[in-house]
Every structure is written in structure tokens, then in C-alpha cells.
Amino acid sequence: MRYEPLKSDLYARHRARFTATLKPNSVAFFNSSDIYPTSADGSFPFKQATDILWLSGVDQEESILVLFPNAPKPEQREMLFLVETNDLIARWEGAKLSKDEARALSGIQSIHWLSDFERVLRDVMAHAHHVYLLGHEHIRRNNPVETREDRFGADLRRRFPNHEYERSAPAMNLLRAVKDPEEVAIMQVAADITAAGYGRVMRFLKPGVWEYELEAEFLHEFVRLRSHGFAYTPIIGSGANACVLHYITNDAQVHDGDMVLFDVGAVYGNYACDVTRCFPANGRFTPRQRQVYEAVLRVEKAAMNLLKPGVRLPDYHVQVGELMTEELIGLGLITREDVAHQDPAWPAYKKYFMHGTSHYLGLDVHDYGPWDGSEIKEGMVFTVEPGIYIPEEGLGIRIEDDIVVTKGEPINLTKAIPKEVDEIERIMASGN
């Protein structure tokens, strides 16, 4: 395994927290992701479904986790079903998890091969009253592809229509939002790898290079440090490309005088880092670039200190909007008259800062967590990413860090990545 796995007792604690939310005589099922095809006999690299990963640590396709805390048979209270290695699999793909390896990884003692699943399922369903199924209920999800979880749930409802079906997602979304210290520690590793990538790119960046060359520098450093690569498709936008929020073609040449926006993070142990920095291609900010950059930096620093336990996310975003409004007025981009006559549903600052400031971060880049107006809690991890985008000037600036909420000062996981103007210019001038 490329990364160092977390200890099994973490996954045991996660399962205990989840099963404590279930109704009596309930069974819950969690499935691995599919391996998605491309064309001919190709497929995309496997990426595990993050809920079964959070509960078991098992990073393998075609796995099924069954949690039945009130099962009459103790051996059925926690079960994992896995693909059994055969000679063909071992020869072409490499051996899958053994039962002993799965026990050590997950802390679950009842490990079965998938060939046993139908027999055990009939026994479990005969004793369970409620069945918890996982629907993909992230507020930003917009994907028509049917998942293995979708197919499993539809089949179970068809075969066992008289059970009471419940949703696992509400409890999982709340539980996953608060990170354990072990999770924060592995996210720090992802952040440190990301920082190394940014250090390499700062030494490489100069007028004349291509955006995809910069992408390649990141990938080299990430993989060298035991990351599986990018936590999300990297955004590397020079000049006006930085004003395209999800610019991922990364195929333009960098010119002298350009600012280059890098929204790039590494993944480690399946946990994501999400960082944005902006650097001048020639190593020196122009007066206007510095003016806009420092306005964004002031908003980012102030926003970090607003992320405290007890604060409501909607209130936080309103406060950040007020901070950005003042900065945009100071930059001459909007006027107080614009603000006085703004549409409350789309405030004046949205012309130049049109996205949200923060999202949850963890096993998913846009991780699960409550968006219902409930309070921020200690242990939650958020991005903080204000930006100003001025297409008419060919200038886009976003600065983003990953923040752990604590009772005191927030912890900035990505503080090692330079973002002060003088520090950036010094590093780029010296090459170190």
C-alpha cells in the first residue's frame, strides 16, 4: 500500500457512532464504488466510495459492509464481504485482501467472501425490521450515473418490499463533518505533500512555460512523496484564464506579466488537500496585481478567524461578503451606490466574487457536512477561498487554505505554502 493506513480502532469508533443513530433492529448496508468503463476494455482508476472507507478502511472494489448492531447472532453485528482472490485475479491484478488483512485493517472480525453474501443476506433480513440504505445526498451532487449503491438499494427494495427503509446519509453527513485527530493528522500529510509541490512549481515558473508543464511538476512531486496524485482535476490558469473558475484545460502558454492561479491539491490516504495560490510569472507583482492580491489576502485572513464553534455558516458567508464589499469599493470595482441599490439575492460584490468562501474538506474535496444553518463545531475542516476576478483586466486572484476549527486559534494545515507578497517575490528571485 502506497500510504500508511489509519489504525483499525478509528474505524471501530466510526462504526459505533453511526450505529448509535440507528433505530432498534436495524441493518445498514454500504457498498464500494464501481469500476467505471471508458471504451473498448479500458476503465478509470478505482476510487473507493468514501462512506464505506470512513467506516472500514477497506479500499477495494466489490466490497459490502453490513452493520446490524442488534443481530441475534453476535457474528452478524459487523460483517465485511470481499472478493476472494483466485489464480486469474492474482496473475492479472494482484492478490486482493485476505481475511486476516481485512480484520487487521478494519477491526471487523466477521469477514466473508462475496459468494456467501446471498445466504447471509436472507438470514439478516429475516431478523431486521428497518433497513438503512445510502443515498448520495450531497447538496452539490448532479450526476445521472447509477452507482453500485443505487442498484443494490433498488434490488433490495424489490426483493424485500415489506421492510421499513431508512436513510443513512443524514447521520453519515453529520458524523463525517467532525474530524478525529487521526484524520486531521493524515490531512496534514496531504497538505505537506501539496506544499512540496508548490515549492517545486515556484522554482520552475517563468514566462514561456506552458500551464500543462506546471501541472506535470506538481504531479511529479506528489507521486514522489507517496500521493496517488491530484485530489481533484488541477486548475492552472494564467492571465485571463484565472477568471474561469473551473478552468481545467491547462493548455496555454504563460506570458511575461501574467499572474498564474494554481488551484491544486494532493491526496494522501484518500484524504484531500485543496489549496489555491497566485504567483507572478516573472517573479514580480505589478502595482495593480499587488493591490488586488492584498485585498483578497486581507479577506482570507479575516475569514479564517470567523470560523469558530457556534458560528452559523450562512452568517459567516454574509460577514465575508461584507468584508469583500469594502475591498471592492477600495479597488474602484464597485461603488457605495451600487451597494445601496443591490439585489439582496445577488449582492453587488458577486460581480467580482461569485462563489462561496468555504466548503467542508476531508475524504471528499467537497466533503459532507450540514448546510442547514446549524452551528460550526470544533474539529470541522473547511477551505477558506475568497477571490476577485476581473476579466476586463485579465486578472483573477484566489487565495485558499485548509482550516481546522478549534476552540482557540484555527489551525491552518496549509500555512507552509507561501502567500505573502514579499515572501513570494523573494523565493521566486532566489530560486529557493
Per-residue pLDDT reduced to its tens digit, 324-361 = 999 999 999 999 999 999 999 999 999 999 999 999 99
- Give pLDDT, residue 146: 86
- Give pLDDT, residue 170: 94
Region 38-65 average pLDDT? 92
Give the burial string for 140-177 (b: 16+ CB within 10 Å, else e): eeeeeeebbbbebbeebeeeeeebeebebbebbbbbbb
- Give pLDDT, residue 193: 98
Q: Which domains does the chain have, with CATH numbers?
A: 8-175 (3.40.350.10), 181-430 (3.90.230.10)
Would you place residue 150 in the very low, low, confident or very high pLDDT band (cuts 50, 70, 90)? very high
pLDDT digit string (tens) for 154-184?
999 999 999 999 999 999 999 999 999 999 9
First-residue to last-residue Cα distance in the chain: 32
Q: What is the DSSP letter of 239?
A: G
- Give pLDDT, residue 144: 77
Would you place residue 89 in the very low, low, confident or very high pLDDT band (cuts 50, 70, 90)? confident
- Give pLDDT, residue 376: 96
380 contact partners, CB below 8 Å, separation of at least 6 = 177, 178, 179, 360, 369, 404, 405
- Give pLDDT, residue 432: 63
For the entire predicted model, the pTM comes to 0.95
CA 92 to chain centroid, in Å, comes to 31
Would you place residue 41 in the very low, low, confident or very high pLDDT band (cuts 50, 70, 90)? confident
Mean pLDDT of the chain: 95
327 contact partners, CB below 8 Å, separation of at least 6 = 295, 296, 298, 299, 388
24 contact partners, CB below 8 Å, separation of at least 6 = 70, 129, 130
* Beta-carbon count within 10 A of 318 CB: 11
Active site residues: 41, 246, 263, 274, 355, 359, 366, 385, 389, 398, 400
pLDDT digit string (tens) for 279-301?
999 999 999 999 999 999 999 99
Crossing angle (nearest 10°) for helices 181-204 and 211-224: 140
